[in-house]
Structure 1
Amino acid sequence: MANLSEGESEVFVVPGISESKERELRDRIESTIWPNELEKEYGWTLGAPTWAVKPLAEEWANNYSWEDARTELNRWHHYRMKIDGHLVHYIHERSTHPDAIPIVLLHGWPSTFYEFHKLIDPLRDGVHGNQAFHVITPSLPGFGFSEAPKVKGYGVAKIGAMINALMVHLGYDKYMYHGGDWGAIIGKLIATRHNNNCKAYHTNLPMVLPPLPTPRNILFYPFKIAKFFTSLVVGFDTIYGTGKTVLGGLTFANAERNNECGYRAIQGTKPYSLSYGLSDSPVGLLGWMLEKYHDWTFHPVERQDTEGLPRTISSKEFLTQVSLYWITNTMSSSVRIYYECLQQNEMIGIVLPRIKIPVAVCAFAQDIYKMPKDWLETSTDLHQYNEMISGGHFPGLEEPEILLQDLQQFGKKIKQKKIL
């Protein structure tokens, strides 16, 4: 560990990899033992099929350049700061615009800070004459270039405190926040527990309660309560509109209720056992990630079963995400956030509180959770809500222009109201 005091930072340069390491990666890919599969095609219902994994593995071995990716990444200013005894990696791009406001962009799993590579410059520069930002893009502890925790306990609460401390140490006592996936979950906690600093919360993955008959809701939203209880009888789609409510079976790890949460069950209970394969096999790692980059992204119906990545995410972008996990050997440490959250039963404490700071929700068509506007209005101080006809769980990669405009729109509102 660098000899830094708490809150001190050092310049960081994204490292290259040696020829021997590149050769080892190629050899491992080329010597892959491919899994036994059924003779009949069943789309993606059993996970990532070989026909989708093989071309990406071959490209990774023969036509992908980490050095090219590294050159792009090193265009930005990278640092690592000591927070709670850990080195936390982040990009920090200050805007030259006098009215710029600070924003932290936080990724989730299986993603990295690179998810926002198309947003950093335009947010910083205030493109199209819109709101500009000082952009801070961290790597979650145990992801990428951030040091992994060495002891138990680093769940959402601790990580949220670390991200807030990062912003305060950088001199941003007040800031705006955007996150998806774990970035959204951590953001909900920051928005409720660290709202002396976090003054506006933007997300594509809200985590809130429905309009329950609390004293506040009975006083202000009696009709929304009635709508919710009616929806329990006749169905969410009937009351709120088709596809407006996507809840994933309301379970974190019960695959009997939701086939899509099997990965959460193993990562939340036995992450060590899974990690041998993901740490040792580059193709195992690639396949585990590809399933999510297929299932959680937007595909036109006619291509849903026949393409791996959506056309909005290039193979090189996906392989850069995979490479960041492989080069840093952090897949094993990244999945432990599932274990910590499940074992500490943190989701209850995250979902329950009402968000009292201004909130914006940008709902993309194929995201893994979606909640009706009614629910957001009763559980947050909702200032902005936009629904999209495309995009999915990784909007920074899939639909960066749409997400950029939404962030700038919200940032401008916050600026005009003098909240930041």
Structure 2
Amino acid sequence: MAASLAEPQLFTVSVPDADLALLRQKLDLTRFPDELDDAAWNYGVPLANVKRLVARWKDGYDWRAAEASINEIPMEGFGTLNVHYVHQKSEVKNAIPLLFSHGWPGHFLEVQKLLPLLTSASPDHPSFHVVAPSLPNFGFSEGVKKQGFAIVQYAETCHKLMLALGYSEYVVQGGDWGSQVIRTMAANYGVKAVKAWHTNDTSSIGPPSFSRFPRLWLQHLLTPYTEAERARIKRNELFMQKGRGYSTEQGTQPQTLGYSLADSPAGLLAWMYEKLVLWSDDYPWEDDEVLTWISIYWFSRAGPAASARIYYEQAKVVENPNHSAPWCAVPGGISFFPKELLRPPKTWARTMGNIVLEVEHGSGGHFAAHEKPHELAADLRALFGKGGPAFGVVPGKVGYD
């Protein structure tokens, strides 16, 4: 069970000067590996990229400026299990409460670009009250001290947070691990509390089985793959061959990896920077943008190693023969972005639940909220706006004055 939550308190990010000094000292002592002359990205992050970012992190990057910018976002925290979260309210009286859940290597700042879009008032689209927690073990939320804290427990924590904020009925959105968190919330607390869900990640879905989804099984069997789907299958195969080593390590030996992530800022930088670049769709990452992203992990309350444990804990759940992905009866929507890590056919994705909206985008990758905030916001507006398939699902909260 997730720990209980107490009264909210205002939260301010304030990294001690000693921690900043230690980071600079560690960066100054970085020992870099060698590199093959023509390696490029074939063996991992190029040496020149890491050297440039390490130098910038040590001498040019201004964490205090980033910290001040972060603190402009309304943030609070709960105990007993102290959960840090962003809570941006709309001025619209009947705004729709929405919980946004991140994954790995994401964090609460992924919601930053969405906030002005989702909370703005307009007669043309709905508005939302947005809650974006740092999941336990991530960011400035407390770390979990016992084994067994997996997706069900993350979902319970997020649900209790929404109830504590006075949102007894709400909708949810998430990608990466956040997709599994919000779908579990919809499955476990749907109808009564979670009224609808939306995701931009279908990577955890398998093919429809005859026993659970006979209609989809037959449809998948008889429907030939499109050219686009065949291309995605090849991309999926390439990722499974070359791109998922991180998941295997974090899902089997996270503690061993954790010593490097916790002790070496350059190691943490390379481990995560690789994912930011390769998992996005030619997104123009700026160096300071990357360094702020990585710094959230370096200065996180539980330390950067804690975030990897979600892979291990959920792997134990999936190994259970009685485990099956939750079916979400409440309305659901999916945004498909072409450079998502794994893109199964749509017949697979429809095994997730009661899908009422599907939107195919021409560009975009794994970090949809950060890469394509306008597109993602438009999809949420289409799902919950007037004439949308989930309009009015939260009683009395339609997003319009």
Distance 2:78 2:306 in 1: 19
1:45 is matched with: 42
Q: 1:343 aligns with which of 295, 299, 316?
A: 316
2:11 is matched with: 12
Query: SS of 2:183's equivalent?
Result: helix
Letter of the 2:229 partner, please give it: G
**Contact map agreement 1:9 1:79 (CA 8 A) in 2:** yes
Distance 1:159 1:198 in 2: 15
Of 138-147 and 167-176, more deviation after overlay is shown by: 167-176
1:383 is matched with: 356
Instruction: Specify whether residues 115 and 6 from structure 1 end up closer, same or farther in structure 2 by C-alpha distance, changes over 3 A only.
Output: closer
2:118 is matched with: 123
**Contact map agreement 1:248 1:260 (CA 8 A) in 2:** no
Distance 2:219 2:316 in 1: 34
Q: Does residue 321 of structure 1 match 2:321?
A: no
Q: 2:100 aligns with which of 97, 105, 110?
A: 105
**Contact map agreement 1:249 1:258 (CA 8 A) in 2:** yes
Instruction: Specify whether residues 144 and 378 from structure 1 end up closer, same or farther in structure 2 by C-alpha distance, changes over 3 A only.
Output: closer
After TM superposition, give the deviation of residue 185 of structure 1 in Å.
1.3
Residue-by-residue CA offset, 1:47-95 (whole Å, 9 max, x unaligned): 212122222222212221111111111112211112xx41011111111
Q: 1:273 aligns with which of 256, 270, 276?
A: 256
Query: SS of 2:30's equivalent?
Result: coil
Distance 2:256 2:247 in 1: 14
After TM superposition, give the deviation of residue 369 of structure 1 in Å.
2.0
Q: Which has the higher contact order (CA 8 A, sep 6+)?
A: 2
Structure 2, unpaired ranges of 5+: 396-401
Q: 1:59 aligns with which of 56, 60, 70?
A: 56
Residue-by-residue CA offset, 1:291-346 (whole Å, 9 max, x unaligned): 111111112xxxxxxxxxx31x3322221110111112521111011111112326
Q: Does residue 168 of structure 1 match 2:163?
A: yes
Distance 1:400 1:45 in 2: 30
**Contact map agreement 1:237 1:245 (CA 8 A) in 2:** no
Letter of the 1:282 partner, please give it: P
Instruction: Specify whether residues 112 and 353 from structure 1 end up closer, same or farther in structure 2 by C-alpha distance, changes over 3 A only.
Output: closer
Letter of the 1:258 partner, please give it: Q
Instruction: Specify whether residues 92 and 33 from structure 1 end up closer, same or farther in structure 2 by C-alpha distance, changes over 3 A only.
Output: same
1:241 is matched with: 229
Instruction: Specify whether residues 393 and 128 from structure 1 end up closer, same or farther in structure 2 by C-alpha distance, changes over 3 A only.
Output: farther
Distance 1:89 1:381 in 2: 31
Give the count of matched residue pairs. Answer: 388
After TM superposition, give the deviation of residue 375 of structure 1 in Å.
2.9
Distance 1:389 1:369 in 2: 16
Of 26-35 and 146-155, more deviation after overlay is shown by: 26-35
Letter of the 1:65 partner, please give it: D
**Contact map agreement 2:5 2:161 (CA 8 A) in 1:** no
Q: In the TM superposition, what are the counterparts of 1:226-305 in structure 2 within 5 Å?
A: 226-229=218-221, 236=225, 241-245=229-233, 248=236, 258-299=241-282
Instruction: Specify whether residues 362 and 380 from structure 1 end up closer, same or farther in structure 2 by C-alpha distance, changes over 3 A only.
Output: same
Q: 1:33 aligns with which of 23, 31, 34?
A: 31
**Contact map agreement 2:125 2:381 (CA 8 A) in 1:** yes
Instruction: Specify whether residues 37 and 371 from structure 1 end up closer, same or farther in structure 2 by C-alpha distance, changes over 3 A only.
Output: same
Distance 1:242 1:95 in 2: 42
* TM-score of the aligned structures, taking structure 1 as reference length: 0.85
Once superposed, what is the RMSD of the aligned Cα atoms? 2.6
Q: 1:356 aligns with which of 301, 312, 329?
A: 329
Distance 2:234 2:376 in 1: 20
Q: 2:382 aligns with which of 397, 409, 419?
A: 409
After TM superposition, give the deviation of residue 127 of structure 1 in Å.
5.9
Distance 1:345 1:53 in 2: 35
**Contact map agreement 2:96 2:127 (CA 8 A) in 1:** yes
Residue-by-residue CA offset, 1:118-137 (whole Å, 9 max, x unaligned): 11122112468421100101
Give the percent of matched residue pairs that are identical in Structure 1 and Structure 2: 32
Query: SS of 1:335's equivalent?
Result: helix
